[in-house]
Structure 1
Amino acid sequence: MSDLAPAMVFSSNGVAPSALRYPGADLPVCAGCGTQYAAPRADCPVCQDDRQYVPDTGQRWTTLAELHAAAHTPKFVEEGPGVFGVGTVKSIAIGQRALLLRTGEGNILWDCLPYVDDGMVETIVGLGGLTAIAISHPHFYSAMVEWAHVFDVPVHLHESDREWVGRPDPALHFWSGETLRLTDEVTLINPRIHFPGSAVLHWSADGGSLFSGDVLNVCPDRRWVSVMHSYPNHVPEHPDAVRSAAELLDRYSFERIYGAWWGRVVTADGNAVLRRSLDRYLAWEGRPALRPAA
């Protein structure tokens, strides 16, 4: 039985973030993608990149303090066994939602948000707090340093995407290579699709789960996942990278795949869903099918 109802929302307390708890409350946050930067700047490199975009209204900036003043309502939804979606009722930036994994060796926050408030913090503390944050790719870096400071935990990022960090901080821990073992049950994997330093998270408990952000995007038809270099600009990923990622992920067993957006969860046969999805991609590119699974 979970500690929260299947869907739980609650209002913030209306008190502006304190300087002590939220030292970056007045730092600039890109309104388009949600990335927080260490100092004011004219543009957002994440949005300038062809995997994102600058909105038609132009480059706009906000702050955590301004977002808090707008009375965003936090939202927690149980999305699977031991997994809670964490976000806001009203969408911010690209509509990010993070996932709280309640593992046997401590809670891990997968991906991150441009927003945090005392209500969110109190709820997560009530669920056991955090031991670490891990992030799939730069579109979810958002206010990761703020979250790290609030919970006094490290943020695990792949070294290959270091250039996209907007607010350097000692809390950021960069890993390299193909995998990083966080616990006996949890492994970060670098499939090198969407971004060179992209990561997915494998949790071996309860039949196995793969947390993919939109590195592997769970489709509205949840029998399928998709993969792109750029989703908003419709640029496909290179077939050789897709094949390499498929071969790497074949080493792991998982029933469920948790995507980037609310409710985008494959609930069964995750390995088969991933394999047939990537085979479909390769077929459309005129490439040979994947080798049969071992």
Structure 2
Amino acid sequence: MKILSIQSAVAYGHVGNSAAVFPLQRIGVEVLPVYTVNFSNHTGYGAWRGPMISPDDVREVITGIEERGVLGQIDAVLSGYQGGEGIGDVIIDAVARVKAANPDAVYACDPVMGNAKSGCFVAPAIPVLLRERVVPVADIITPNQFELGFLTETEPDTLESTLESVDAARAMGPSTVLVTSVERPDAPADTIEMLAVDDQGAWIVQTPRLPMKANGSGDVTAALFTAHYVRTGDAALALGKTVSSVFDLLERTLASGERELQLVESQESYAHPREQFTVTRVR
């Protein structure tokens, strides 16, 4: 399997491609990483150095890959945080080029916009770009519950309303939706859930809620789910493997006392996920 991953990169820590590439490689995926920024560290530190890559330069890298004749071998295009409208145009164009070369290829979009605690932290134009232009060409999207609501202009806060919001998102274009953090009032305390929906049904997994915030965990989640789903076509199986791997990664990171994901130390959790959580069909 080959995945073209168009995301940010940092030298220190793990977000964007610096979070997604190694777990994908560890499960046997050939990754073609294309960088949209090359920063010293993620912006959550409040200070960073390094360049944003211009949309024209990102497009040039993709054109160079195309000139090697490998776009027809790509099984999936993966994108995450989009810093500006120009990058969105480049990604949409790259998806079109890949699908022209391989009609079976899919596009997985992590529509990064914010979260319930922080609100929307991207430029005002980005949610509109995602809603109107990017998500409609995606096959898979991996929003958190807040982003799902923002995309669909709904307020998902129960399992039923979250499923309705997923249906609204799927009506926009994507056939598969992974909601990476579902919170609802009737769930047991100190738990959090992940929900996957495709044409075959809907499945949910519940895990303990860990007392931490880990930059890059969403990037790992989107990458692993995309790879497992494209390989198997089984949303329930992909969900179970992804949740297990990410939970063990987060648990190991919490135990380490470090701020950054313990990505390398957790590699066996990607290669051999314990699948310790029950996947329940809800529709």
Q: TM-score, normalised by structure 2?
A: 0.35
Q: Which has the larger radius of gyration?
A: 1
Query: Which structure dedicates a bigger proportion of its chain to helix?
Result: 2
Q: TM-score, normalised by structure 1?
A: 0.34
**Higher relative contact order (Cα pairs below 8 Å, separated by 6+ residues):** 2
